[in-house]
Amino acid sequence: MINSLATKEGSHTELITVYVPPGKQISDALNLLRNEYGTASNIKSNVTRKNVLDAITKAQQKLKLFKDPGEKGIVVFTGALLAAGAAPGTERMESYVIVPPEPIRIFLYRCDSRFHTEHLQEMLREKESYGILLVDANNATIAVLQGKRLEIVRQMHSGVTGKTKAGGQSARRYERLRDMQLNEYFTRVGAHANEAFLALDNLKGIILGGPGPTKYDFEKGGYLNYQLQGKILDVLDTAYVEEQGVKEVVEKAPEIMKKVRYIEEKEIMQKFLFEVGHDTGLITYGEGEVRRLLQAGAVRLLLLSESVDLVRLTIKCSACGNEEQHTIKAPEEGAFEQGLVGKPCSKCSAPSFTVVDKKDVVDDLAELAELGGTEVEVISTETEEGQMLKNAFGGLAAMLRFKQQS
C-alpha cells in the first residue's frame, strides 16, 4: 500500500498527508486541519480550492473515527486522484488510513502534489539490521546498520606489539608472545561483537572487513558465537578500520544485501517449483483460487510478485443495490470506469453502476493472509524463478497447509 501511495499524484498541490503520533490528542490534529481549512479557503483556483477543502474535510472525518492515536499513531492520506488513462476533470476523492508498524515520532501536516510516505518507507526499511565488524592487528570497530541509520557501537585498540626483525630463538619466542596477544585481542573483539549483534532482533547478516589478512585470521579462528559465524555474508577489503572504513562498507552494503535477498528468493521459489514439479497437490495459483483458499485458512505461504499491478473494484447498482467485484489491471481502471456508463445491471437492467470501493489486489490478499496467520513473501523479478512466478503463474501463488479434496 505504501509503495502504491508513493506513486500517486494530484493534478495540483491538493493531496493531504497527516501524521498523528502516539501521545498527541486527536483534537490537536482536528484543530490543525480546521486552521488549514481556513487558509485553503483563500486559494484562487476554484478547482484546486474545492479539491483541497474536500480532502481536508475527508481527513477530519477519518480522524473523528478514532478516540486517540493508539500506541503507534495514525497516518491519513486524502486527496482527489486521477486514475491512469482517465481524462482531467474526472478525479475521484480517495482516502487511506494506516496504523504504522512502529510508533511514529512526528506530528505532520502536508498539502502537496504527492503523498508524503517517506517516513513510513524508512520505518519499514529499518526492520532489518546488519552487523559491521572491521578488524586488523591494531584496531577494531563494531557498527550496526539499520536502514539508513548507522551506529558505531564500539572501537578498540589491540595493544598487540609490532613484528620484530630480530632472528633466532628470540624471534620465535617473540612471535609466540605476539600470537598470544592477538588471540586475546581477537577473543575480546569477538565477545564485544557477540554482545552487540546477538541483541539485535532482526539481524540479517554480518559484513566483516579490514585491510590485510588479519580479518581472515579472525574469521577462521571462530571467535564469534556459532549463531553469528554462519551469518557472515561477505569479507571485504577496506583501506581503514575506523569510521572511514565503516563508511566504505556501507557504500558496498546495498549490493551485498541485494545478493542476500536474491538467494532467499531463489530458495523460496525453488521449494514452490519442487511442489509443482512433483504434483504434490500442495500449491495453487491465480487470484481466484488463491483468494478462495486464503479465506478457507488453507494457505501456509502466500507468494506475491512485486510486479503484480492489479486492483479489485467493487461496483454497485444505485437502483437495486446489486454489487459486483472485478479484478483488472491498474492502468485499465480509467477505461473500465468509462465502460460502466450505460452498462445494465444483471439484476434490474438499470444502467446505474458506480465504483464504490477500490483495493490493490496485493494489499487485499495480504490482509486475508494476516487474518489466517499465513506467511507472505513478496518476490522480485530479479531471479529466473521470480520471472517464472510473474509470467507462468500470474504473479499470485500459494503453498498450502494440506491437500484439497477433489
Q: What is the CATH number of the domain that holds 53?
A: 3.30.960.10
Select from 200, 252, 256, 213 the least CA-distant residue to 232: 256
349 falls within a domain = yes
274 falls within a domain = no
CA distance 292 to 280: 19
> Cell 503507534 identifies what position?
72
Same structural domain for residues 134 and 119? Answer: no
The SS3 of residue 37 is: helix
Same structural domain for residues 255 and 161? Answer: yes
> With a threshold of 0.75, does the pTM exceed it?
no
Select from 95, 55, 99 the least CA-distant residue to 73: 99
Same structural domain for residues 133 and 255? Answer: yes
CA distance 45 to 216: 66
Residue after which a domain boundary falls, among 90, 124, 158: 124
Question: What's the domain range around 11?
Answer: 2-124
Sheet holding 149-157, edge to edge: 149-157, 139-146, 129-135, 203-210, 232-237
Statement: residue 65 has pLDDT above 70: yes
156 falls within a domain = yes
Q: Which pLDDT score, from 0 to 100, does residue 166 have?
A: 53
Residue after which a domain boundary falls, among 98, 124, 150: 124
Which tens digits make up the pLDDT trace of 18-46? 999 998 999 999 999 999 999 999 988 88
Q: What's the full length of the chain, in residues?
A: 406
* Residues 6 or more apart whose Cβ sits within 8 Å of residue 169: none
Q: Which pLDDT score, from 0 to 100, does residue 89 have?
A: 65
133 falls within a domain = yes
Residue 95 exposure: Cα atoms within 13 Å on the Cβ side: 16
272 falls within a domain = no
Listed range (110-114, 169-173, 336-340) with the worst mean pLDDT: 169-173
CA distance 70 to 61: 17
Statement: residue 150 has pLDDT above 80: yes
Provide mean pLDDT across the span 364-387.
Answer: 88
Provide mean pLDDT across the span 258-277.
Answer: 88
Band (2; pLDDT cuts 50, 70, 90): confident
Same structural domain for residues 98 and 149? Answer: no
CA distance 107 to 28: 10
Listed range (4-8, 30-34, 317-321, 345-349) with the worst mean pLDDT: 4-8
Residue 209 exposure: Cα atoms within 13 Å on the Cβ side: 26
> How many percent of the chain have pLDDT more than 90?
57
How many domains does the chain fold into? 3
* Residues 6 or more apart whose Cβ sits within 8 Å of residue 292: none
Same structural domain for residues 226 and 149? Answer: yes
Residue 182: CATH number of its domain: 3.30.420.60
Write the DSSP assignment of 118-187 as a string of letters: HHHHHHHHTT-EEEEEEE-SSEEEEEEEETTEEEEEEEEE--PPPP----HHHHHHHHHHHHHHHHHHHH
Mean pLDDT of the chain: 88
Residue after which a domain boundary falls, among 124, 141, 172: 124
Same structural domain for residues 217 and 251? Answer: yes
